[in-house]
């Protein structure tokens, strides 16, 4: 490596996507990852690509909608390009989503979601009553009043996506090193190199894409990065003779049979710092929500349980920005619950910031400066 190398710290979806798009521009890239690829949120997520909102209650995601739609487009490109380059099937597929409503208040929220979602080209959304929902998912609880049905949304297997991105990056010449970055060295307003536990590595530019661990690097760059970990747990179940072929969401929970024939169910939201252990409380919470949505699935057999940490920015919106203090440092993190969807877009925009190109979309909303106001 030499001082014309861009160093990317963090091999989650954001760091890997950044390396991928830089390498496409023929930039020399070194990516440094501390742990096994896919061993954190980017490998253990649910993998839903829902640019028009999350499961259950309507959430205003308007400030990130353009980024989310851009992410969706890049995922479509990845779904062809990555298997072609690597032979890895990332299991990207379009399947509908049903946001179900048990109460009158939830009906109001779902119906307003339908109105809002209908505006977007390429997406179809309508309100369905219980009988119509039963035709699509016979296992659904008879207690629901109805659901917002949305087409145009998708999912994939996040772990396979990460493996494919690693291989694609390597094929395009990205150098991948295992190691923990422990600090940076500067000259004036420029970062000249970074330190790992064993060596100093020169760089022309530095991209920090360290997920929730961005929280710990304030002393490197003399600025607080208001990102914290938000733990989530997922369970995977074997449910004989049952396939839930659309993602059913309620109250922040969602469930769908994935292409591995297991019913994936997520997820908890736990503000417990950097603890990423699975718990019996988390499992029980998810199972009780499963039975609320599908009361007859009590024969489901637990196969796998995982936990991981979302990087959540203080205001819930991603950070994609160059630092004022150090002109060759770019930050990319904080995508929270939507990092798999947003990751490729964040990587593309970050690569554009590094190469001083015009960014594909306006990124003012994602500035680090917004926290200093
Ligand atoms: C249970 C759960 C379900 C989810 N489901 C979805 C979903 O359905 N759809 C969706 O869009 N999003 C989902 N997400 C969110 C998504 O997983 C995250 O937002 C996204 O993976 C974050 O990616 P990242 O690259 O920013 O961070 P990470 O994946 O955390 O990657 C950061 C990497 O940086 C490395 N690192 C940190 N410090 C250092 C250092 N000093 N030196 C070297 N390497 C370092 C870490 O080891 C890590 O690999 C889910 C999250 C959870 C927890």
Domain ranges, residue 27: 6-45+159-226+315-372
Do residues 255 and 288 share a domain? yes
Q: Clarify whether residues 165 and 309 are in a common domain.
A: no
Residues 272 and 291 in one domain: yes
**pLDDT value at position 2?**
57
Q: With respect to residue 75, please indicate whether it lies within any of the assigned structural domains.
A: no
pTM to 2 decimal places: 0.97
Distance CA 57, CA 286 (A): 17
Question: What's residue 58's pLDDT?
Answer: 42
Q: What is the pLDDT of residue 3?
A: 64
Cα(231) to centroid(ligand 1), Å: 11
Ligand 1 touching residue 234 (CB < 6 A): yes
Q: What is the pLDDT of residue 60?
A: 55
Domain boundary residue among 285, 313, 341? Answer: 313
Here the CATH number for the domain that contains residue 147 is 3.30.9.10
Does 189 fall in a domain? yes
Same domain, 292 and 241: yes
Q: Is the residue at 72 inside a domain?
A: no
Residue 81 lies in a domain: no
Examine the fold and report which residue of 313, 332, 356 is the final residue of a domain before the chain moves on: 313
Return the pLDDT at 38. Answer: 95
Residue 265 in any domain: the answer is yes
Residues 252, 113 share a domain: yes
Quick: pLDDT tens for 45-62. Answer: 999 999 987 643 445 567
**Whether 372 contacts 361, CB under 8 Å:** no
Residues 234 and 128 grouped into a single domain: yes
Q: What is the pLDDT of residue 52?
A: 87
Q: Which residue puts its alpha carbon closest to atom 37 of ligand 1?
A: 210
Give a yes or no: residue 109 inside a domain.
Answer: yes
- CB of 162 shorter than 6 A to ligand 1: no
Quick one: 192 and 321 in the same domain? yes
Answer yes or no: do 291 and 320 share one domain: no
Q: Give me the residues of the chain with pLDDT under 70, please.
A: 1-3, 54-61
Total tally of structural domains belonging to the chain: 2
Domain boundary among 313, 338, 359: 313
Residue 58 lies in a domain: no
Are residue 239 and residue 216 in the same domain, yes or no? Answer: no
Please work out whether the CB of residue 42 comes within 6 Å of at least one atom of ligand 1.
Answer: yes
Is 61 within the bounds of a domain? no
The pLDDT score that the predictor gives to residue 63 is 76
**Distance between CA atoms of residues 243 and 257, nearest Å:** 6
Position 1 scores a pLDDT of 54
| Residues 149 and 233 both lie in one domain | yes
pLDDT at 55: 43
Are residue 233 and residue 354 in the same domain, yes or no? no
Let me know whether 220 and 325 are in one domain. yes
Tens of pLDDT, residue by residue over 217-236, are 999 999 999 999 999 999 99
Q: How far is the CA of 42 from the centre of ligand 1 (A)?
A: 4
Alpha carbon of 40 to ligand 1 centroid (Å): 6
Q: What is the CATH number of the domain that holds 359?
A: 3.50.50.60
């Amino acid at each position: 490596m030499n001082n014309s190398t861009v160093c990317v710290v963090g091999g989650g979806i954001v760091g890997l996507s950044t390396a991928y798009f830089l390498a496409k521009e023929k930039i020399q890239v070194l990516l440094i990852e501390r742990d096994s690829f896919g061993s954190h949120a980017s490998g253990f997520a649910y993998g839903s690509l829902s640019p028009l909102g999350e499961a259950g209650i309507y959430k205003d995601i308007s400030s990130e909608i353009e980024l989310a739609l851009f992410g969706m487009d890049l995922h479509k490109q990845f779904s062809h390009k990555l298997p072609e380059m690597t032979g890895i099937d990332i299991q990207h597929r379009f399947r509908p989503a049903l946001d179900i409503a048990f109460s009158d208040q939830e009906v109001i929220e779902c119906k307003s979601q339908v109105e809002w979602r209908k505006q977007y080209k390429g997406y179809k959304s309508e309100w369905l009553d219980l009988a119509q929902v039963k035709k699509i998912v016979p296992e659904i609880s008879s207690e629901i009043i109805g659901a917002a049905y949305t087409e145009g949304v998708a999912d994939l297997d996040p772990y396979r996506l990460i493996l494919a991105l690693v291989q694609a990056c390597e094929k395009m010449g990205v150098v991948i090193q295992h190691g923990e970055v422990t600090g940076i060295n500067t000259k004036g307003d420029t970062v000249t190199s970074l330190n790992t536990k064993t060596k100093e590595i020169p760089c022309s530019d530095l991209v920090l894409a360290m997920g929730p661990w961005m929280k710990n690097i304030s002393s490197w760059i003399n600025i607080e990065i208001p990102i914290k970990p938000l733990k989530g747990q997922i369970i995977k179940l074997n449910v004989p003779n049952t396939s839930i072929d659309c993602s059913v969401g309620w109250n922040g929970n969602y469930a769908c049979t994935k292409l591995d024939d297991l019913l994936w169910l997520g997820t908890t939201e736990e503000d417990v710092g950097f603890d990423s252990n699975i718990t019996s409380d988390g499992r029980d919470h998810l199972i009780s929500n499963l039975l609320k949505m599908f009361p007859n699935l009590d024969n489901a057999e637990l196969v796998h349980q995982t936990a991981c940490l979302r990087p959540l920015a203080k205001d819930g919106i991603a950070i994609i920005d160059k630092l004022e203090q150090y002109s060759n440092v770019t930050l990319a993190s904080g995508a929270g619950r939507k990092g798999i969807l947003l990751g490729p877009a964040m990587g593309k925009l970050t690569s554009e910031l590094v190469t001083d190109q015009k960014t594909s979309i306006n990124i003012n909303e994602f500035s680090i400066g917004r926290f200093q106001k």
